[in-house]
Amino acid sequence: MLLGGLISRVAMAEGLKVVGSASTAEGTLEWLQKHPVDLIVIDDKVPDQEYHQFLKAAQRLCPHVKLLLMGQEKDPLEVEKLLAQGLSGYMLRQDAHDRLVAAIYAIGQGERYLSPQLQSR
């Protein structure tokens, strides 16, 4: 599902509001300096920066922000390491259409979110 479809899906969900989007890590970080947010959803294929770098920079700018990373299957140890570094959730890109809103709700309630395929490992 393309970005616009995901944004529409989240925007229609009760209690959720999309306040911005960006196509690059740099654009997101610039926007984040001026606009406080509760949660950032980022793809692990962000075009202009390694997602590890982005996650650290976002946490420096907004220490309270929750971070949901979407991507392909990763080694469970790498996912655990990311969670230990402050990531709020990891969602397989293939799950975004069906599970993104549920993941956002879970993270908003203080839970960590993992795609079901990752939980069974």
Q: Is the dihedral of CA 29, 87, 73, 16 positive or negative?
A: negative
- Give the confidence band of 114 by pLDDT, cuts at 50, 70, 90: very high
Q: What DSSP element (H or E) covers 117?
A: helix 116-119
Cα angle at 42 between 36 and 43, to 5 degrees?
170
| Domain enclosing residue 87, as ranges | 3-119
Residue 96 has pLDDT above 90, yes or no: no
Query: pTM of the entire structure?
Result: 0.85
Both structure tokens of 100: 């993104």
CATH of the domain at 86: 3.40.50.2300
Residue 27 has pLDDT above 80, yes or no: yes
Average pLDDT over residues 21-41: 87
Q: How many domains does the chain have?
A: 1
Amino acid at 32: L
